[in-house]
Amino acid sequence: MSTPAAPPPPRKTNRIGLDVLSYKGSKTTLCAGCGHNSISERVIECFYELGVEPWHVAKFSGIGCSSKSPAYFLGMAHAFNGVHGRMPALATGALLANSTLLGLGVAGDGDAASIGLGQFMHMVRRNVPLICIIEDNGVYGLTKGQFSATADLGSTQKGGAVNDLPPFDCCALALEWGATFVARSFSGDKKQLQAILKTAISHRGLSVIDVVSPCVTFNDHVGSTKSYAYMKEHDLALNELDYVPAYEDIAVEIAEGEAMDVPLHDGSHLRIRKLGHDFDPTSRLAALAAIEEAETKAEVLTGVLYVNTGKPTFLDLLNLPPEPIATLPESRVRPSRAVLEEVMEELR
Amino acid sequence: MSSLEVTPAEPLSVDAGRALVNDFSLQVATVNGSGSQTANTVLMRAIFQMGIPVSGKNMFPSNIAGLPTWFTIRASKHGYVGRRKEIDFLVAMNAETAREDVMKLEAGAAVVYDEPLKLGELRTDLHFYPVPFDKLVAPVCPDAKLRKLVRNMIYDGVVAQLLGIEMEEVHRALVKQFGKRKAKAAELNWGAAQAGFDYATSAFTKNDRCRVERMNLTAGKIIVDGNAACALGAMFAGVTVVAWYPITPSSTLVETLIGYMRRFRVDPETGKATYAIVQAEDELASIGMALGAGWAGARSMTATSGPGLSLMAEFIGLGYYADVPTVIYDVQRVGPSTGLPTRTQQGDLLSTAFLSHGDTKHPIFFPCSMEECFSMSIQAFDFAERFQTPVFVFTDLDLGMNNWMADAFVYPEKPMNRGKVLTAEDLDRLGGFARYGDVDGDGVGYRTLPGTNHPKAVYFTRGSGHNANAQYTEREDDYIGNMDRLAHKFETMRGEVPEPARELRAGARIGIVAIGSSDYAARESCDQLEAEHGVPVDYLRPRAFPFTTHLAEFIRGHDRVYVVDQNRDGQLLQLMRLELEPDSIARLRSVRYYGGMPIDARTITDEIVKQEAK
Ligand SMILES: Cc1ncc(C[n+]2csc(CCOP(=O)(O)OP(=O)(O)O)c2C)c(N)n1
Ligand code: SF4
Ligand SMILES: [Mg+2]
């Protein structure tokens, strides 16, 4: 046949000329249907859509199914898969060394709410500029289904065992400790999670994102409060979110009282439209009250709970320069002979 | 009050014949929190300024105020600055321990004491100098609240008069100690010192043996503690990220570093810091931050002691398997929890050499002096980046927190060795890289730093399961390949660690091996064995683990080799055994001390003499 083959359709690329493949990682080894996989998908989409150079991203994680997931997105980003619960320390050290990195941390609920609770707390206290995604399934997936500290009181294990302890709510804890961006989402809510992730990419400071992410293998049964079915019933979105990137610069008229516009560090905006509740996402107290109230009604409150763009980050507090201190030239990190002589004279 | 028996002894005649000129130990017994540190430092400095080699050791309790503490100054014209067990001159200021302190002295020693303690009745074979401190302090310090602090300076004056320390030097030391900003306090204290001097002049006839005479052995030298020396070493090594959690005896290492970094590492043009120091929430976090920073290309460090190392174990294993550089200072002390945390020991050797789980082994540097604390710190940072692995620098409470005399530190001549790091330009040229491939045959792969502006720069760092391309794997051949590379890397280190120090004597058939702070006692013991027993002894001091080939050679060249350990189980000897042939192992003998004080020469000498007699 002599009909010429149709030219391949032009490759779809983002504003920095990369296709979506450039944002993928290796093939997931997690269970099919695992909520963590959906979160990875959202990460890929968000970084692709915003045109972030992946090699300026540094991924950090602890240990767990969740912590494996950084291998399955942003394959062109550096990554450090550390030890169980200690993602915050690794990320903190790396970001101090190189403050130009865009840090993305993934933790399981075992990492964040149990073995690494202390590190999680102190990372919040320091306002380390990091996107921290807690992939929250209420169980230890990788060790085969034990309850985690976020499992709800009275929820059951697959084998029937009942959880007799009340849960930690990672969002409430982060709010208490002074986090600057706190949101909750559900791995099944594509639009909401995207808006939250994009906001986190633009936020200067720590973003704590607790994503309910069902474990299909160990915690998706009747009696679980972290299952797909339970979330479909009980997910209550606080607000409708619209992320407007800086480069789009569309001026949208917002009617008074209808939505709130939060300008972010990099020039982008988050538009928060209230849903039902009269809720102010710049008030920590309001957020804590809303969580408390939802708890009594067995609702899982999702959306942006709190945003504060004015607090200094740990890098600011340490008076770090804009360039990475890790690679400052010798002339700037090794004091002169005269300095050594001065100190020696003091000790003579 | 202790109820020690008073042993009748020969009454004293004047001991002038056996004068101890520039060769004695002076101990001040006080209560901690009483401000005696200043008086003690001034006394030590004044002797040092007269050109006489000195060292100052503080034996303090794990407590903030109210418990006994002893400060011992050793003056030695021979330059021996290790601990000496015998005390020749005691200043007894602490009612609680005074009787026991006095009863422990050897006949002929001198005692300056607070008059109301009535120590003079205890023994007839000592020289007593009672001083009415309270009476003397009142006129020179009208403010009653300050008297407790100023009172101590009186014994400086008394001791200066009795030993022949020049008061100008006391004054100079005092001014230095207080600095320009505290001129008033210096004046007040100077008055107290003079009052002590005048009292001693009028009240006492000198009849003990201790005396100082001006020498010229300290010109140009400094006095510093090991923690400060390590801190300076780290600063001049170009450290940029420091994460730590306070623990005695390592805290002052970082605290001193903070002071120096604030002065010398803030960019004068931009006003920005060229470093980050973080007091972490615990040691799990401090080592994690140090590793995260090392991974991101910073010269990073942490400083801790044994209990902290225990907490760091897991992360350090990850650093080993994933080839991440950092420097870990371990200022060793006695065991976990309460008891003797403020006493010294070399007790972390075995647990650290193989810290973490699986087949891990780590390089450890053993500085023995202030000069080495400085220079080996700089080497350690180069070494960590050269070999992309956690490197330990071991000191101990004796080195770290006591005052040592040293030569002025030498400015590093060599530029920093940042190791094998590929830049974006390298990647353009190479087209890619295998993170854990052993291209150069030394077991060390090439790495890139996160943030390198190149799509090919990235790699994924993870624990034990990765292949040469840093990809996840659970294959046995990949695992074995990586473990063999790490083992090979360790062997490469063996050829590049600092070589041992040696002191050889003609005709020596036996040898001594010691590390770190045991050096002073070991070398003094070599002199004792030759002078007192006519036995020449060779000495070798490994300066790092893995041991170099010199160690095995040294052992093969001697009939018996005494290995000095400041721990109960002979950890250095045990570690040596693991690397030696049976014939060499058979030549090893153990000398151990583990009482929590710095080891002294006499302990080593006595033990060797005892074992040689068998
Ligand atoms: C120090 C340490 N203790 C225990 C473990 C075993 N372990 C591996 S993953 C895990 C829990 C994972 O749960 P989570 O963090 O919730 O992640 P998930 O698998 O549910 O995503 C545990 C306890 C470990 N790896 N390290
Ligand atoms: S065990 Fe659960 S958490 Fe782990 S991959 Fe499977 S579904 Fe996901
Ligand atoms: Mg989990």
Neighbours of A194 (CB within 10 A): 19
Q: Does A16 touch chain B (CB under 8 A)?
A: no
DSSP 8-state symbol, A164: -
- Quick check: CB of A145 below 6 Å from ligand 1? no
Neighbours of B255 (CB within 10 A): 17
Q: Which amino acid is at A259?
A: A
Distance between CA B238 and CA A332 in Å, rounded?
8
Per-residue tokens: B341: 């945390």
- Cβ-defined contact of B298 to A335 (cutoff 8 Å): no
Element at A254 (helix H, strand E): none
Express each pLDDT in B81-93 by its tens digit: 999 999 999 999 9
Mean pLDDT, range B300-328, rounded to an integer: 97
Mean pLDDT, range B453-471, rounded to an integer: 93
- Ligand at minimal distance from the CA of A107 is 1
Mean pLDDT, range B283-306, rounded to an integer: 98
Q: Which atom of ligand 1 is nearest to the CA of A112?
A: 15
Mean pLDDT, range B43-59, rounded to an integer: 95
Which of A26-30, A208-212, A248-252, B177-181 has the lowest average pLDDT?
A248-252
Express each pLDDT in A145-166 by its tens digit: 999 999 999 999 999 999 999 9
| Residues A219/A224/A228/A232 CA torsion (nearest 10 deg) | -170
Distance between CA B503 and CA B516 in Å, rounded?
15
Using the predicted structure, report yes or no on whether residue A299 has a pLDDT greater than 70.
Answer: yes
Distance between CA B583 and CA B555 in Å, rounded?
9
For ligand 2, pick from A27, A65, A67, A221 the residue to mutate: most ligand atoms within 8 Å of CB.
Answer: A65
Using the predicted structure, report yes or no on whether residue B3 has a pLDDT greater than 50.
Answer: no
Q: Which residue in the set B265, B278, B449 is minimally distant from A335, CB to CB?
A: B265
For A:296-335, CB contacts with B below 8 A are: 318-321, 324-328, 330, 332-335
pLDDT of residue A255: 61
Predicted structure pTM score: 0.95
Contacts of B299 in chain A (CB under 8 A): 326, 333
**Phi, psi at B460, each rounded to 5°:** -110, 120
Which of A216-220, B68-72, B527-531, B551-555 has the lowest average pLDDT?
B68-72
| Nearest residue in A to B416, CA atom | A330
Contacts of A325 in chain B (CB under 8 A): 240-241, 273-276, 298
Distance between CA B425 and CA B454 in Å, rounded?
9
Express each pLDDT in B190-246 by its tens digit: 999 999 999 999 999 999 999 999 999 999 999 999 999 999 999 999 999 999 999
Distance between CA A335 and CA A327 in Å, rounded?
15
Residue B597: pLDDT band by 50, 70, 90 thresholds? very high
> Where does chain B hold its CATH 3.40.50.920 domain(s)?
501-612
pLDDT of residue A11: 83
- Mutate one of A53, A67, A86, A177 to test the B interface: name it (highest B CB count within 10 A): A86
Element at A232 (helix H, strand E): helix A228-234
Per-residue tokens: A324: 């990475």
pLDDT of residue A249: 66
CATH topology of domain B226-406: Rossmann fold (3.40.50)
Residue B470: pLDDT band by 50, 70, 90 thresholds? very high
For chain A, what is the mean pLDDT?
94
- Ligand at minimal distance from the CA of A31 is 2
Q: Which residue in the set B237, B285, B449 is minimally distant from A122, CB to CB?
A: B285
- The SS3 call for residue B158 is helix
Distance A142 CA to ligand 2 centre (A): 7
Where are the domains positioned within chain A? Answer: 20-317
**How far is the CA of B291 from the CAs of A111, B388, B457, in angstroms?**
18, 11, 19
Max mean pLDDT range (A269-273, B388-392, B469-473, B596-600):
B388-392
Mean pLDDT, range A255-259, rounded to an integer: 68
| Ligand 2 neighbours by CB, cut-off 6 Å | A 30-31, 34, 36, 65, 137, 141-142, 215-218
pLDDT of residue B17: 57
Radius of gyration of chain B (CA): 27
Q: Which atom of ligand 2 is nearest to the CA of A108?
A: 3
| Nearest residue in B to A118, CA atom | B281
Distance A60 CA to ligand 1 centre (A): 15
- Cβ-defined contact of B461 to A93 (cutoff 8 Å): no
Per-residue tokens: A259: 């939505």
Which of A203-217, A234-248, B384-398, B515-529 has the lowest average pLDDT?
A234-248
Express each pLDDT in B35-48 by its tens digit: 788 999 999 999 99
> Where does chain B hold its CATH 3.40.920.10 domain(s)?
16-211
Q: Whose CA is nearest to atom 7 of ligand 1?
A: A143
For ligand 1, pick from A28, A106, A142 the residue to mutate: most ligand atoms within 8 Å of CB.
Answer: A142
Contact (CB, 8 A) for B472 and A93:
no
Assigned CATH for B501-612: 3.40.50.920
DSSP strand pairing (B390-396 vs B326-332): parallel
Distance between CA B188 and CA B503 in Å, rounded?
48
**How far is the CA of B149 from the CAs of A108, B37, B60, B197, B559, in angstroms?**
55, 10, 18, 17, 56
- Ligand at minimal distance from the CA of A144 is 2
Q: Where are the alpha helices (DSSP H) in B73-215?
A: 95-103, 133-140, 147-163, 167-178, 183-203
Neighbours of B476 (CB within 10 A): 8
To the nearest whole percent, how much of chain A has pLDDT over 90?
A: 91
B148 exposed, middle or buried (CB, 10 Å; 0-12, 13-18, 19+)?
middle
| Nearest residue in A to B281, CA atom | A122
Express each pLDDT in A304-334 by its tens digit: 999 999 999 999 999 999 999 999 999 999 9
pLDDT of residue B46: 97
Check whether domain A20-317 has CATH 3.90.1150.10, yes or no: no
Contacts of A335 in chain B (CB under 8 A): 235-236, 264-265
Contacts of A339 in chain B (CB under 8 A): 264
- The SS3 call for residue B544 is strand
- Mutate one of A30, A52, A61, A96 to test the B interface: name it (highest B CB count within 10 A): A96
Per-residue tokens: B519: 């050096």
- Cβ-defined contact of B411 to A340 (cutoff 8 Å): yes
| Residues B310/B305/A122/B462 CA torsion (nearest 10 deg) | -50
Contact (CB, 8 A) for B456 and B350:
no
Per-residue tokens: B296: 């991101």
| Nearest residue in A to B424, CA atom | A55
Distance from CA of B349 to the nearest CA of A (A): 25
Mean pLDDT, range A20-39, rounded to an integer: 97
Express each pLDDT in A69-85 by its tens digit: 999 999 999 999 999 99
Distance A143 CA to ligand 2 centre (A): 10
- Mutate one of A27, A59, A78, A114 to test the B interface: name it (highest B CB count within 10 A): A78
- A266 CB-near residues (< 8 Å, 6+ apart): A202, A204, A246
Q: Which residue in the set B222, B240, B472 is minimally distant from A328, CB to CB?
A: B240
Assigned CATH for B16-211: 3.40.920.10
Four-residue CA torsion sign, B149, B151, B157, B160: negative
Can you say whether residue B355 is alpha, beta or left, with left for phi > 0 and alpha for psi between -120 and 50 degrees? beta
DSSP string, B243-275: EE---TTTHHHHHHHHHHHHHHSB-TTT--BS-
